[in-house]
Amino acid sequence: MRVGILSYPMLFQREGGLQVQVRSTMDALRQLKVPALQVELVDPNHQRLDSFDVIHVFSAINGNYRLVELATELGVPVALSALLSPSWTKAAGLRARLADGLTGHLTGWNVQTSYAQTKRALQLAQMVIALGPAERAAIVDGFRTDGGKIRTLPNGISPRFFSSDRQAFVRHTGLNGPFVLMVGAISPYKNQLALAKALEKHDLPIVLIGSAQRQHEDYLQELLASPKVHWLGQLDHNDALLASAYAAASVLALPSQGEVYPLVVLEALAAGTPVVMTNESALSLPASGFALRQLRWNDTDALCTAIVDFVARPPRRAEVRALVEKFTWQRVAMQIAECYQELHRRGCAHQDERRAV
């Protein structure tokens, strides 16, 4: 069985959670060493989609509905990792459909909204993968997707984050006391400035890891105007310094306007570090309140209180790690491989039916 992995063309021009998810998923699938399973990135300039038995599309947005459309037209079954915000409630879906209908009428149906494109991708895909119950609810409620074709599979965590230690980070930065870490693209959406303002009255260094696009360079300079902010730039996901930073931090903060299922949070917890993050996320861990606080992204007072509380009364690192000890890429890969096999069987059965007719 030959499986092709696809997403939008600019995916690997940047680094972030989706890039890590795609690479880690592929690596883990290959490590399963299933003889009948061949997984590869599709080169759409040189390979036809119908040369694959199954297509796996990552992200339902960024125009990826066209990939799902084409694969469907060619008779290739599609698994779609939706990666949608849990903010897509029934009410949000209704508003989007009304706006889509109005746009269509005003333009003679020559213009599509991104909502309509996302909905089409979800409807055409034979199987939709959600990262958690909150994203599953958004897919069903916001986009009226058949819940029967949704599989809920979380992301995994590399083993190196569970065994990381703080020494490499301390040697590299000289920071040997409490500090707050934030990992992610530097941008107003990620909301680093709110973190700096929330902690402006506290003697807590803030370490930022991530790159800023050209349009956000002024935002970065505003952050660096604070003497408490230390910027390490972009680190490769495999860089030992990244894992060490998680282990050295007192708290990981992620007050962004929205996240789907943030890998940085899972990685910080694997290192034993508590997290304060936005509540606009599909991430949900039972009995995790002692190490994970999820707040409104614009509530700087609550952000400050939660961070200071974790610094003053840190949870036991072993107990924090235990929250995510089952989140392995190997386990995820085995479940995804089962999804591929199910789709392949369906595709073969459908072809047999067509031949019989």
Which tokens in the block code for residue 104? 């269509």
Write the pLDDT tens digit of every residue in 325-355. Answer: 999 999 999 999 999 999 999 877 666 566 5
Rounded CA separation 115/119 (Å): 6
What is the assigned CATH class of domain 2-156+328-356? Answer: alpha beta
CB-based contacts of 109, cutoff 8 Å, min separation 6: none
Contact 212, 219 (CB under 8 A): yes
Q: Which CATH architecture has domain 159-322?
A: 3-Layer(aba) Sandwich (3.40)
Read off the tokens for 138.
Answer: 């958004």
Do the beta carbons of residue 286 and residue 252 sit within 8 Å? Answer: no
| DSSP element (H, E) containing 180 | strand 180-183
The CA distance from 292 to 1, in Å, is: 40
**Pairwise CA distance, residues 117 & 122, whole Å:** 9
The torsion angle over the Cα atoms of residues 179, 181, 187 and 188, rounded to 10 degrees, is -60
The predicted model scores a pTM of: 0.86
pLDDT at 350: 65
What is the block-wise mean pLDDT of the chain (357 residues), using blocks of 10 residues?
94 86 94 90 94 97 95 96 93 96 92 95 97 94 96 93 96 95 96 95 96 95 95 94 98 95 95 96 92 96 97 97 93 94 84 59
**Can you say whether the dihedral through the CA atoms of 151, 71, 124, 139 is positive or negative?**
positive
Q: What pLDDT score was predicted for residue 15?
A: 81
Where do the structural domains in the chain lie, given as residue ranges? 2-156+328-356, 159-322
Reported as a single tens digit per residue, the pLDDT across 262-299 is 999 999 999 999 999 999 998 989 999 999 999 999 99
Q: What is the distance between the alpha carbons of residues 143 and 137, in angstroms, rounded to a whole number?
A: 10
Strands (DSSP E) found in 59-141 = 78-81, 127-130
pLDDT value of residue 274: 98
